[in-house]
Amino acid sequence: MAKIKIYSTPQCIYCKKYKEFFKEEGIEYEDINVAEDHEAAHEMLEKSGQLSTPVLDIDGTIIAGYNLEAVKKILKIK
């Protein structure tokens, strides 16, 4: 199973959409709240080049912003 990290803030609507999608599909993910964890915010910046949520790390592939089609493609979900 793919290892998924989501860099998010609690208020971010696009982050919630990703998490809802993962739950619906029964996919496990690690949720990292960058509003509370400044080191994680820097990690997100290093990986994605941006300080903006959501950012996904799916087995090392980085998706910055909301792009469900790209996520489905990586996870091979129709």
Partner 1 sequence: MHDVIIIGGGISGFTAAMYAGRLGLKTLIVEAGLIGGVITTTNIVENWPGIKKISGEELAMSVVEHAKEYDIDIETSLIKKVKIGGKKGCFTVSSGSKTFESKTVIFATGAKHKKHPAKNADKFENKGVHYCALCDGPIYRGKKVAVIGGSDSAAKEALFLSEFASEVHMLVRGEKLLGEKINNERLTKNKKITVHTNTNIVEMKGDLLLDTLVIEGKNKRTKEFKVHAAFVAIGIIPLSELAEGIGVKLNKKKEIIIDRTASTNIKGVFACGDVTDTKFKQAITGAGEAVTASYWAYAYVNDPEYVCPRGEEKP
Applying CB under 8 A, the residues found at the interface with partner 1 are 9-14, 16-17, 34-36, 41, 45, 49-53, 64, 66, 68
- Least Å distance, CB 73 to partner 1, is 14
Return the number of the residue (50 or 61) whose C-beta is nearest partner 1.
Answer: 50
Cα–Cα distance, 66 to 15 (Å, whole number):
8
What is the nearest approach in angstroms of partner 1 to the Cβ of residue 66?
A: 7
CB of 70 to partner 1, least distance (A): 12
Q: Do the beta carbons of residue 17 and residue 68 sit within 8 Å?
A: yes
Bridge partners (DSSP) of residue 56 are 6, 63
For partner 1, the closer of residues 28 and 49 by Cβ is: 49
Whichever of 27 and 70 has its CB closer to partner 1, that residue is: 70
